[in-house]
Amino acid sequence: MQILQRTLRRQIFFSLGNLNEYTMAKLILSRLLLGAGTLLAVSVLIFVCTQILPGDVASAVLGQDATPEALVIFRKELGLDLPAYMRYFNWFTGALHGDLGVALTNKRVILDEIAPRLANTMFLAGYAALIAIPLAVGLGILSAINEGKLIDKLSNIITLTAISLPEFFAAYLLIIFLAVDVHWLPSLSTVYKDMPFTERVYQTTLPALTLTVVVAAHMLRMTRSSVLSVMSTAYIEMAFLKGARRGRVIVRHALPNAAAPIITVVALNMAYLVVGVVVIEAVFVYPGMGQLMVDAVAKRDVPVVQACGLMFAAVFVVLNTLADILVILVNPRLRHKR
């Protein structure tokens, strides 16, 4: 009888382990499918929004002096004589194969034009993330450890002030102080190909600091609130009853269980660092994806606008999907047998 009970117990534990692995795989697959579906829906939205813009693209590009014959030929080159669903299908399938089309203004391949701009934007976003993420998470944990004390109150005041500032206003404040008053950093970020790394870092420091001010406040507050919400649980109170110090309890016990919302907000802000740089790049005249999109909108270069929008959407969806997968992987209820 005892042997039978042990065998049944082992089979139950083995089934639970397989159930955990199956549940994790199912959740990860659902997140991947959801990300792909979201990207597909966003691509449809981008295409529709660019197609319903008022005016005629051919007339805007060729000018008012263009002859009717030239307009007809140019519309045929753009595929405007085809139905909308066929134009979308050709555009999206081409994008999946790496063909984003040709720019209307300079007849250059869009992928070749976007590649260096995307590299500049990713460099700026990575630079800002290297400053913002350790600073925000570290100060958030420090504020949670010292809840109600002076450092916690100061961090709350600073974060609320930073959240209230529009990003362009924060950029101009930093320009006035760091570029105009003390002359530490340049007010315009001039970067070019084969630029020395140290010079590139120097030129992009001011926009990176601006992005840090914008995103670090959200991550700090989320880190603090997530850690403090875990602090009210029973196992944390038991750790305090055993005489553990507050800092050790937070770092060893509370922080791993508060990791899921922190990962989510970090991923969202990382996506914002890439997608939301349009205003910052316009302020600092930084040659990134945001500045390229602004120029394309001004010139009514629809294929470039569509390509930039699709690239931004892809980065946002991929980062959020990775965040969802990381949250699933760090979930103790799915990683351990029950």
Q: Are residues 131 and 63 both part of a single domain?
A: no
Q: Which of 98, 123, 152 is the last residue before a domain boundary?
A: 98
Reported as a single tens digit per residue, the pLDDT across 245-287 is: 777 777 777 777 777 777 777 877 887 787 777 888 888 888 8
Rg (C-alpha) for the chain, rounded Å, is 26
Q: Cα(255)–Cα(75) distance, rounded to whole angstroms?
A: 58
Query: Which residue segment(s) compose the domain that 232 sits in?
Result: 110-335
Quick check: 57 and 78 in contact, CB under 8 A?
yes
Measuring CA to CA, how many Å separate 18 from each of 4, 5, 29, 113, 325?
21, 20, 16, 48, 19
Q: Are residues 88 and 164 both part of a single domain?
A: no
Q: Is residue 105 part of a domain?
A: no
> What's the pLDDT at 190?
81
Q: Are residues 134 and 260 both part of a single domain?
A: yes
Q: Are residues 235 and 91 both part of a single domain?
A: no
Q: Are residues 84 and 217 both part of a single domain?
A: no
Quick check: 211 and 280 in contact, CB under 8 A?
yes
Contacts of 143 (CB under 8 A, 6+ apart): 151, 152, 155, 156, 220, 224
Q: Is residue 256 part of a domain?
A: yes
> What's the pLDDT at 5?
43
Residues facing 282 on adjacent strands? none
Domain count, the chain: 2
> What's the pLDDT at 55?
62
Q: Is residue 120 part of a domain?
A: yes
Q: φ and ψ at 12, to 5 degrees?
A: -65, -45
Q: Is residue 277 part of a domain?
A: yes
Q: Is residue 148 part of a domain?
A: yes
Least confident of 33-42, 98-107, 176-185, 254-263: 254-263
pLDDT at position 143 over 60: yes
Q: Are residues 83 and 227 both part of a single domain?
A: no
Percent of the chain beyond pLDDT 90?
0
Residue type, 265: V
8-state DSSP, 104: T
Give the mean model confidence (pLDDT) for residues 25-53.
Answer: 84
SS3 56: coil
Give the mean model confidence (pLDDT) for residues 39-55.
Answer: 82
Domain CATH for 153: 1.10.3720.10
Q: Is residue 74 part of a domain?
A: yes
SS3 186: coil
Which two tokens mark 172? 């101009």
Q: pTM of the prediction?
A: 0.77
Q: How many CA atoms lie within 13 A of 79 on its CB side?
A: 15
Reported as a single tens digit per residue, the pLDDT across 194-212 is: 888 888 889 899 999 888 8
